[in-house]
Amino acid sequence: MKNKILLIYTGGTIGMIKDNAENTLIPFNFYELLKAIPELKSDELDLVNISIQKPIDSSNMNPTVWIEIVQLIEVNYEEYDGFVILHGTDTMAFSASAISLMLKNLNKSVILTGSQIPIGVRRTDAKENLITSVEIAASGKVKEVCIYFENQLYKGNRTVKINTDHFEAFESPNYPILAEAGVNIKYKSYLEKGSSKNLKLNTEMSNNVAVLKLFPGITIETTKAIINSAKGIVIESYGAGNAPTNPGFIKVFKNATSNGKILINITQCLHGSVVEGKYETSELFRKSGVICGRDLTTEAAVTKLMFLLGNDLNNDDIKIQLQTNLRGEITN
Ligand code: ASP
């Protein structure tokens, strides 16, 4: 029997052409994409392609489009063996995290991929990325949301974009890769086992969140303004979770949490984890009611906060869930 794979096009460099008048890249008609990769036609594969209503450069990504994507997966879930989402690289890691949270009890593959060079350009990386993503989706071995890029399969909610120039554009700094594509595709033991329960969709996402990135010299006024701008704040602190010990900062954090805001502390470092209490400068966070985000990436922390705030939970539950491993996004 043929494997049925649904290709969902959302935009990004992979499907772009040059607008000669402006000399910029603009999205092109998705159906041209399959003409560009005849290798995708196979006797063992039934590949169907659809597109979101209005393909975008992924810098324009937002929760409404995430909802459109997960709804497309839900309505087609029974009919297809796997899903490949063509997506711009800029916000692919955010989308992978969001989609992993919005889809519960996943038992099929959802692979996001894209490219650094447009499909129509001779040195494009799009062909390999797309062909191997489809092969992985059809393998039946992957039952979670992943990013495939330049020979590596990453856990979606652990991935970050790390390079604008290289074909190796992504990394999952605190989680091993899930598969490696060489002559053969080698699947690793870190893959999720899948769920026997029915797929459950959750489309409630709040955008009442902000990111506060600390830097030497940041003022209390700026800190306060960012914290006041949203209900949930991801604090990107220094090293193992440290912040200035100036009492003015501590007061801002303490007031915010006492007034019902949710603050979560993650590190600016690419690798490693927040360890609150390791230094005095991080212990102050704990005493101020700031949640320890351990090794969550910024992308996962932001989307997890959007997801939990969107779901009408009380603050205590949100704080517990933030530190609970829901889809493999945080190390216990
Ligand atoms: N700006 C593009 C996007 O994210 C970049 C890419 O696809 O690589 O949509």
What does the pLDDT read at residue 32? 62
The answer to whether residue 28 scores a pLDDT higher than 90 is no
14 CA: nearest ligand 1 atom: 7
DSSP string, 261-304: -EEEEEESSSSS---TTSSHHHHHHHHTTPEE-TT--HHHHHHH
Is residue 270 packed enough to be buried (19+ CB in 10 Å), middle (13-18) or exposed (0-12)?
A: exposed
The answer to whether residue 34 scores a pLDDT higher than 90 is no
Q: If you measure from the C-alpha of residue 28 to the centroid of ligand 1, how many angstroms do you get, rounded to a whole number? A: 13
CA distance 235 to 264: 6
What does the pLDDT read at residue 234? 98
Reduced to 3 states (helix: H, G, I; strand: E, B; else coil), residue 35 is: helix
Task: Please tell me if the CB atom of residue 276 comes closer than 6 angstroms to any atom of ligand 1.
Answer: no
Q: Which residues pair with 85 in a beta bridge?
A: 8, 112
The answer to whether residue 23 scores a pLDDT higher than 90 is no
Parallel, antiparallel, or unpaired for β 170-171 and 45-56? unpaired
Q: Does the pTM of the predicted model rise above 0.85?
A: yes
Catalytic residues: 13
Q: CA separation (Å) from 78 to 5, 47, 85, 108, 282?
A: 11, 15, 17, 10, 48
The answer to whether residue 87 scores a pLDDT higher than 70 is yes
Dump pLDDT digits (tens) for 176-209.
Answer: 999 999 999 999 999 999 999 999 999 999 999 9
**pLDDT > 70: what percent of the chain?**
96
CA distance 254 to 263: 10
End-to-end CA separation in angstroms for the chain? 40
CA distance 319 to 332: 15
The answer to whether residue 170 scores a pLDDT higher than 80 is yes
Task: Please tell me if the CB atom of residue 57 comes closer than 6 angstroms to any atom of ligand 1.
Answer: yes
What does the pLDDT read at residue 18? 67
Using the structure block, give the residue that is written with the tokens 């800029």.
90
Q: Whose CA is nearest to atom 3 of ligand 1?
A: 88
The answer to whether residue 268 scores a pLDDT higher than 80 is yes
Task: Please tell me if the CB atom of residue 100 comes closer than 6 angstroms to any atom of ligand 1.
Answer: no
Q: If you measure from the C-alpha of residue 262 to the centroid of ligand 1, how many angstroms do you get, rounded to a whole number? A: 31
**pLDDT > 90: what percent of the chain?**
78
What does the pLDDT read at residue 183? 96
Task: Please tell me if the CB atom of residue 15 comes closer than 6 angstroms to any atom of ligand 1.
Answer: no
More confident residue, 232 or 276: 232
Mean predicted confidence (pLDDT) in 119-145: 93
More confident residue, 152 or 332: 152
Q: If you measure from the C-alpha of residue 67 to the centroid of ligand 1, how many angstroms do you get, rounded to a whole number? A: 20
What does the pLDDT read at residue 129? 96
Q: Whose CA is nearest to atom 7 of ligand 1?
A: 88
Q: Are 12 and 88 in contact (CB under 8 A)?
A: yes
The residue type found at 101 is: L
Q: If you measure from the C-alpha of residue 42 to the centroid of ligand 1, how many angstroms do you get, rounded to a whole number? A: 28
Mean pLDDT of the chain: 93
What does the pLDDT read at residue 197? 97
What does the pLDDT read at residue 231? 98
169 CA: nearest ligand 1 atom: 8
Reduced to 3 states (helix: H, G, I; strand: E, B; else coil), residue 129 is: helix
Pocket perturbation via mutation, ligand 1, pick of 9, 13, 113 by most ligand atoms within 8 A of CB:
13
Q: If you measure from the C-alpha of residue 172 to the centroid of ligand 1, how many angstroms do you get, rounded to a whole number? A: 19
Q: If you measure from the C-alpha of residue 87 to the centroid of ligand 1, how many angstroms do you get, rounded to a whole number? A: 7
CA distance 94 to 83: 18
Enclosing H/E stretch for 154: strand 152-155
More confident residue, 16 or 60: 60
Q: Are 208 and 200 in contact (CB under 8 A)?
A: no
- Of 130, 305, 307, 112, nearest to 205 by C-alpha is 307
What does the pLDDT read at residue 37? 80
Q: Are 24 and 101 in contact (CB under 8 A)?
A: no
What does the pLDDT read at residue 40? 82
56 CA: nearest ligand 1 atom: 9
Dump pLDDT digits (tens) for 39-56.
Answer: 887 888 899 989 999 989
Label residue 26 by pLDDT band (50, 70, 90): low
Residues whose CB is less than 8 angstroms from the CB of residue 326 and which lie 6 or more positions away in sequence, other chains included: 101, 304
What does the pLDDT read at residue 282? 72
Label residue 286 by pLDDT band (50, 70, 90): confident
Residues whose CB is less than 8 angstroms from the CB of residue 249 and which lie 6 or more positions away in sequence, other chains included: 220, 223, 243
Task: Please tell me if the CB atom of residue 125 comes closer than 6 angstroms to any atom of ligand 1.
Answer: no
The residue type found at 138 is: A
Using the structure block, give the residue that is written with the tokens 């063992």.
44
Dump pLDDT digits (tens) for 294-310.
Answer: 999 999 999 999 999 99
Task: Please tell me if the CB atom of residue 89 comes closer than 6 angstroms to any atom of ligand 1.
Answer: yes
Dump pLDDT digits (tens) for 93-104.
Answer: 999 999 999 999
Which tokens sit at 291? 């949640």
What does the pLDDT read at residue 16? 75
Reduced to 3 states (helix: H, G, I; strand: E, B; else coil), residue 222 is: helix
What does the pLDDT read at residue 81? 97
Label residue 29 by pLDDT band (50, 70, 90): low
What does the pLDDT read at residue 204? 97
Residues whose CB is less than 8 angstroms from the CB of residue 113 and which lie 6 or more positions away in sequence, other chains included: 14, 84, 85, 86, 87, 129, 130, 133, 147, 148, 149
